[in-house]
Structure 1
Amino acid sequence: MSGRIVVVAMRCEECGFDFADVTSAVASGEIVARAESFASVLDRADPEAGPRRVGGRWTTLEYGGHVRDMLVVQRERVLMARMHDVPEATPMGRDERAEWAEYEGLDASELARQVRDCADWLARTFSLLGPDHWQRRLVYTYPERAERTLEWLAANVVHELVHHEMDIRHNLRTGQEGRS
Structure 2
Amino acid sequence: MHTCAECEFEYDLKLAPRVSAIVRRDADAYAEALRDDVNLLRRRSDPAVWSPLEYACHLRDVLLVMRERVLAARRTVTPTAAPMGRAERIDHDGYAHQRPDDVARQLRDAAMLFGGVLDRLGDQDWDRTLHYHYPEPAVRSLRWVAVHAAHESRHHLLDIERQLAD
Task: Assess same fold via TM > 0.5.
Answer: yes
Offset at 1:136? Answer: 0.2
Offset at 1:22? Answer: 5.1
Change (3 A) 1:121 1:85: same
TM-score, normalization by structure 2: 0.91
- One of 44, 51, 67 as aligned partner of 1:75: 67
CA distance in 1, matches of 2:99, 2:49: 19
- One of 56, 80, 88 as aligned partner of 1:88: 80
Higher RCO (C-alpha under 8 Å, 6+ residues apart): 1
RMSD between aligned alpha carbons? 1.7
Aligned runs of 1:21-100 on 2, under 5 Å?
A: 23-43=15-35, 45-49=36-40, 51-53=42-44, 54-100=46-92
**Where does residue 131 of structure 1 map in the other structure?**
123
Aligned length: 165
Aligned runs of 1:89-168 on 2, under 5 Å?
A: 89-100=81-92, 102-168=94-160
Determine helix, strand or coil for the equivalent of 2:98. Answer: coil
Higher relative helix content: 2
| Residues 41-94 of structure 1 deviation map (CA, whole Å, 9 limit, x = unaligned) | 223x31244634323111111111111111110000000001111111001001
Q: Give percent identity, aligned residues only.
A: 38
Unpaired stretches in structure 1, ≥5 consecutive residues? 1-8, 175-180
CA distance in 1, matches of 2:100, 2:30: 12
1:138–1:149 CA contact under 8 A, matched in 2: yes
Determine helix, strand or coil for the equivalent of 2:140. Answer: strand
**Where does residue 10 of structure 2 map in the other structure?**
18
